[in-house]
Amino acid sequence: MKNEGINAPAVGIVAGEASGDLLGSLLIKALQQAGLNARFEGIAGPKMQGLGVRSLFPMETLSVRGYVEALGSLRRILAIRRQLAQKLLAAQPRLFIGIDAPDFNLGLEGRLKRRGIPTLHFVSPSVWAWRRGRIKKIRKAVSHMLLIFPFEEAIYAEADIPATYVGHPLAHALPDQSDRKGARERLGLRANGEYIALLPGSRQSELKLLADTFIETARKLHERRPTAQFLIPLISRETRLHFEEAIYRLQASELPIRILFGHAHDALQAADAALVASGTATLEAALLKCPHVITYKVPWLTYQIMRRQAYLPYIGLPNIVAGQMVVPELIQKQAQPELLAEAILRLLENRLARETMLDAFEGIRRALRRDTPRLIAEAIAPYLK
């Protein structure tokens, strides 16, 4: 769906990172399939822009995770939010849609809602995991919440916030059966080779903390599995340059690493196992049936703050959805190359461990699979008429 003419209703929209850009593109396609036209303007990544969204600011500016990391960009982010609010208030769109990025979007949504613009938020902040008090801010800022996890419905019903469980868009969009043969053909890989995918995150701030760990883990794995090759999908020129600089600095150019521009889904389908930074990519790996290990690092102060406000024993989405430790999590001090390599080797060498994980992934897909495009369109349609 392109921006379909001056008579189509105007809709403000903001995605703050690569996963939000993907979800936003799926939302726009759902409206297109339902015959709902709109002109979108706000902040978007390449997938949403390819569907006609006019992006007023670069999405990468908002792609910061963590308390301490955000402080360095706070002034710039607040300035963008202020300017965007002024533009949207002047344009008076029929609806505003915030996609994830709650620290940016909820403040913007609150201002717009107070001025009479309906606000829809796609992907609930993880109030079930930490900072539960945010539900009060959500009630003031959001006209309607689209939920992607089934256990969120009770939370919003109790808080008396209009909400619709639409299932997880990725569970609907990604194939039921992983296509390893096709993925390897698309990437020009050997049909019988051994491949390990490394997904260190989409943000510059993540790569600064994780790139070295991922490269050193690849080095450890190469010592034990010298014929294995490593697939590293990165989403931007900046993240690719950062990773290549780390390879050079660590004198790791001899490792059989192949950096891909995008192609994360193909990399996960082609891989025998993966190391994945905590985030949406862990759920993508589960839905694509790629056995993997979850890791993450944040600055010490950020971790202390988050740990004290957390309610769940897991950080990985597959484990949160399953309600148990399905995928190994090695974070902070445990995120050491030796430990990460051993965890991945177990998935490569222990058939029972692989099969147990893959069985759990089937349960995760069943829990999240709904007719998501139809449910999204039905929730949004009243605002566009």
| Within-domain flag for 222 | yes
Number of domains into which the chain is organized:
2
- Same structural domain, 211 and 337: yes
Tokens describing residue 22: 């993907």
What is the Cα–Cα distance from 305 to 364, expressed in whole angstroms?
29
| Within-domain flag for 131 | yes
> Can you tell me whether residue 101 is helix, strand or coil?
coil
Rounded average pLDDT over 342-368: 97
pLDDT computed for residue 1 by the predictor? 40
- CATH number for 53: 3.40.50.2000
- Same structural domain, 91 and 209: no
Q: What is the pLDDT of residues 364-377, one digit of tens each?
A: 999 999 999 999 99
| Within-domain flag for 172 | no
pLDDT computed for residue 2 by the predictor? 47
Q: What is the pLDDT of residues 146-188, one digit of tens each?
A: 999 998 999 999 999 999 999 998 898 899 888 999 999 999 9
- Same structural domain, 198 and 74: no
Cα–Cα separations (whole angstroms), residue 251 to 212, 246, 248: 11, 8, 5
| CB-CB contact of 166 with 369 (8 Å) | no
Q: What is the pLDDT of residues 87-144, one digit of tens each?
A: 999 999 999 999 999 999 999 999 999 999 999 999 999 887 777 789 999 999 999 9
- Same structural domain, 364 and 374: no
- Same structural domain, 225 and 352: yes
| Within-domain flag for 347 | yes
| Within-domain flag for 201 | yes
Domain coverage including residue 92? 10-167+370-384
| Within-domain flag for 2 | no
Separation of CA 10 from chain center: 26
- Same structural domain, 64 and 99: yes
- Same structural domain, 202 and 350: yes
| CB-CB contact of 7 with 30 (8 Å) | no
| Within-domain flag for 225 | yes
| Within-domain flag for 175 | no
